[in-house]
Amino acid sequence: MVDLLSSPAWLQTAGVWVGLGMALLVFSAILGDHWLARLGQYLLVGAGLGYAAAVTWHTLWGLAFVQELIALPGAQPWNWTPVVLASLLALAAGERLFFQGEGGPPPAGVRRFLRWAGVLPAALLLGAGVAIIAVGTVQGTLLPQFLYAAVTGVRPEAAIDVFLTGVLVLAITASALIFFAVDPKRHLVGQPPWVQRLVTGCIWFGQRAAWLAAGVLFARLAASRTSLLIAQLEWMRATFVATELWQTIQGWWGGR
């Protein structure tokens, strides 16, 4: 007897039908908010979260300090720091998950301890995240973008159209950075009138440039989503045509 569950062909066919069903469920949302569309969305989100959890679990066990803890638990005491912080965060999450039901909250002291247990790891995560974003924004986006526009954009020896394009790119870049970085109510108080007018004009120009960039990004996003929709519809058509059901329908229709 052939084991269908272990057959690669059967698994491939099942995956195609499951994917087709999921695509139809999610795509049915264009007809309105109904339980089939919500079911498809819940399944999609659940599958994504499950996959992310599995990847995180395997990645965690592959870390160097985890392997060192498994091999020699007492060799490097600092390797226990992430374990302790993760345990504290898990205790704080447990207070939210298990002591909010009908059974009533735990004693005030225990509840306060559980809540404060997660303050340190949460603060470290938040602080590290903000620092990484700030440093990455300044070193990886703002300064390189401005320096690149200033060094490569403005070339006096270039043709007039290339030179004017470089000046325009530099002006747009600088104005957009000023728009995002300068607050007129705080930074322009007490400044000379000509400085206020100059910076205000740059902010006005940078704001319009940011709006234009946002519109271009939205248009590209809409175009990419439309392309994905067309590709998904084509995949659904090709998948359905390749099934035995379509061949049966085609044979029945041709034999009429």
Reported as a single tens digit per residue, the pLDDT across 109-165 is 667 777 777 788 888 888 888 887 777 666 666 666 666 666 665 666 767 777 777
The pLDDT, as a whole number, for residue 2 is 41
Its domain, for residue 200, covers 154-241
Mean pLDDT for 74-91 is 78
Look at residue 218 in the predicted model and tell me its pLDDT: 92
Q: What are phi and psi of 220, to 5 degrees?
A: -65, -40
What integer pLDDT is reported at residue 159 of this predicted model? 76
CA separation for the pair 92, 102 (Å, rounded): 19
Q: What's the whole-number mean pLDDT along residues 77-104?
A: 72
- Average pLDDT on 7-17 reads 68
* Residue 217 counted as domain residue: yes
- Closest of 187, 213, 215 to residue 200, by C-alpha: 187
Q: Which of 61, 83, 102 is the last residue of a domain?
A: 61
* Residues listed for the chain: 256
Domain count for the chain, please give it.
Answer: 2
pLDDT of residue 140: 60
Longest pairwise C-alpha distance within the chain: 90
More confident residue, 253 or 172: 172
Q: Show the CA angle centred on residue 53, arms to residues 119 and 29, nearest 5°.
A: 105
Is it the case that residue 8 has pLDDT exceeding 70? Answer: no
Q: Is residue 172 part of a domain?
A: yes
Rounded average pLDDT over 59-82: 75
Q: Is residue 122 part of a domain?
A: no
The single-letter DSSP state of residue 28 is G
DSSP 103: T
Q: How far apart are CA 99 and CA 91, in angstroms?
A: 11
pTM of the model: 0.49
Domain membership of residue 121 (yes or no) is no
* Final residue before a domain boundary, out of 20, 37, 61: 61
Domain contains 20: yes
Do residues 79 and 69 make contact, with C-beta atoms less than 8 angstroms apart? yes
> Count of CB atoms within 10 A of residue 12's CB?
9
Report percent pLDDT > 90 for the chain: 3
Give the span between the Cα atoms of 28 and 40, in whole angstroms. 9
Distance in angstroms (rounded) separating the CA atoms of residues 185 and 41? 45
Whether residue 15 is predicted with pLDDT greater than 80 in this model: the reply is no
Q: What is the mean pLDDT of residues 42-64?
A: 85
Domain assignment present for 48: yes
Q: Is residue 80, in this structure, part of any structural domain at all?
A: no
Residue 29 lies in a domain: yes
The answer to whether the CB of 209 falls within 8 A of the CB of 171 is no
3-state SS assignment for residue 149: helix
pLDDT of 219 above 90: yes
CA–CA dist 83, 67 (Å, integer): 13
